[in-house]
Amino acid sequence: MTNIFKFIPLTIILILVILLLLFNDIRKLLLILCYLPFVIVGISPTLLITGTPFTFMAILGAMGLMGMMIKNSIVLVDEITRLTKEGMAPYDAIINSTVNRTRPVFLGSKIYHLIFY
């Protein structure tokens, strides 16, 4: 565990630098980082309800979930930026891009199959 945790600060710095170079805007970087508390909201109650300790496997799952959330937020912010550059109002761009990005995730999830099949 100590071998993993000693590289976390370097990894976080690399992620922040790459995101800053990707977007060239600190506001978009901060917007993407606002998604990370949702990871804790998803993990903590699940671990508490199931009585599972925060072990190595849970840490790997949390890191994987963080990566997926960051990836999805990058795609969402990029879609919003593209729509606003095309002349759409910012509010409409946020709504349209959220619907366009959420629909494929929802359709591919198990929840959709449980509800409709």
Listed by start position, the domains of the chain span: 2-116
- Which letter, b or e, does each residue of 34-54 get, where b requires 16 or more Cβ atoms within 10 Å of its Cβ? ebeeebeeebeeebeeeeeee
pLDDT in tens, 36-45: 888 888 888 8
pLDDT attached to residue 117: 58
Identify the weakest region by mean pLDDT among 24-28, 40-44, 112-116.
112-116
Reading the block at residue 105, the tokens are 């995730």
CA pair distance 81, 72, nearest whole angstrom: 14
Q: Give the mean model confidence (pLDDT) for residues 78-106.
A: 89
Give the pLDDT of residue 24.
86
Q: What percentage of the chain carries pLDDT values higher than 70?
A: 91
This prediction has a pTM of 0.75
